[in-house]
Amino acid sequence: MTPCTSSRLLRLVVILILLVLPFVLSSYGLSIFTKVLIFGILAMSLDILIGYTGLVSFNHASFLGISAYTVGILAVHGINNFWLTLPAGIIAALLLAMVLGLLVLRSSDAYFLMITLAFGQMLYALAWRWRSLTGGDDGLAGIPRPEIGLPISMNDYHNFYYLVLIFFGLSFYALSKFIRSSLGRSIIGVRESESRMQALGYNTWALKYLAYIVAAGFAGLAGVLFVYFNGFISPEDLSWSLSGMIMLMVIIGGAGTLIGPVIGVGVIFILQNFISAYTERWPLFIGIIFVICVMYARNGIVGYLLKLEAKRRRCNESPGSKEHL
């Protein structure tokens, strides 16, 4: 079997598993998977910045948060049509990125990380303080599941799972197309060497700005789905700890691989749920996993698997090489 057919087969199997999951899992299990898919979109979008553009952003929760708050505020005012709230949430995230991008992209490396962290915390403080709009630290509760204009109730967790799955699939497809496009390749060029791209005539600032906005748009989509999933939004969902957690998921799964961050989300959420049944000190175990990854799999789980696969292929191509060893 060629690598191409085996990867196509693997993709088909994964799609089939995702489709039949609601028939196999309990409602609790399915809710974890729904959350994995939502955060999977968020992690993939952060991967566009960390893994592909080389921008280690520490305020990705801001885009999820502003979108979720937009949808929450609309819901509080009785607007719950998904086809209105969805674009509203995404546009809010895009607008935030357009403004923030102008400010944060003046810096790079550790300074970029620090300035994004600072803006993230400012938005967190704003959500905390602006009680009349955001409900302050009480947050906005009781956000109902959306109406999608079809005789299908989103209160049914199976239906909601499929809605999330559709958006996850579309996001994965769109982001992989984006990465493979000439624009996506230019962004990778910026990650590898900004000065080399400039010497080829590229406006690298504009490329980074665009990547920042694209990433925010998908984080906004995750925000819309998240607030409907959770039924509740609070300043915690804008905080640096959530941004840090998503970053950890991207790194553990494998930055720069698109599917890696989704696996990172899955591993962390599933472990979190499994370990927290036995002990409250689950972050300790997540910490251990992170240390193991840093020591033995710096490119994350998927990066490590890809390396193994490449090694296996090299061995197969040159059977005599073993004898030399």
Partner 1 sequence: MLQLDEVHTYYGDSHVLQGVNLEVARGSVVALLGQNGMGKTTTIHSIIGFTPPARGKIIFKGINISGLPPSSIALMGMALVPQGRRIFRSLTVRENLILGYRKTKTDKTAYDLERVYELFPSLKLRSANRGEQLSGGEQQMLAIGRALLTNPDFILMDEPFEGLAPGISKELRQKVLELKKSGMSILLVEQNIEAALQLADYVYIMSKGKIVHGGSAAQLQGEKDIIKRFILL
Angle between helices 204-230 and 82-104 (to 10 degrees): 140
- With binding defined as CB under 8 A, does residue 318 bind partner 1? no
Residue 87 exposure: Cα atoms within 13 Å on the Cβ side? 3
- With beta carbons less than 8 A apart as the criterion, state whether 127 and 119 touch: no
- With binding defined as CB under 8 A, does residue 311 bind partner 1? no
- With binding defined as CB under 8 A, does residue 203 bind partner 1? yes
Question: How far is 9 from 270, CA to CA, in rounded Å?
Answer: 25
Residue nearer to partner 1 on the CB measure, 27 or 198:
198
- With binding defined as CB under 8 A, does residue 197 bind partner 1? yes
Residue nearer to partner 1 on the CB measure, 205 or 290:
205
- With binding defined as CB under 8 A, does residue 185 bind partner 1? yes
- With binding defined as CB under 8 A, does residue 195 bind partner 1? yes
What CA–CA distances, in Å, run from 173 to 32, 41, 168, 318?
22, 11, 9, 35
- 11, 196, 298, 313: which one contacts partner 1 (CB under 8 A)? 196
- With binding defined as CB under 8 A, does residue 3 bind partner 1? no
For partner 1, what does the binding mask look like between residues 69 and 108, x meaning CB under 8 A? Answer: ----------------------------------------
Cα–chain-centroid distance for residue 48? 9
- With binding defined as CB under 8 A, does residue 183 bind partner 1? no
**Token code pair at residue 262:** 């989704």
- With binding defined as CB under 8 A, does residue 2 bind partner 1? no
Q: Is 175 left (phi over 0), alpha (psi -120 to 50) or beta?
A: alpha
Q: Rule CB under 8 A: which residues touch partner 1? A: 182, 185-186, 188-189, 192-193, 195-204
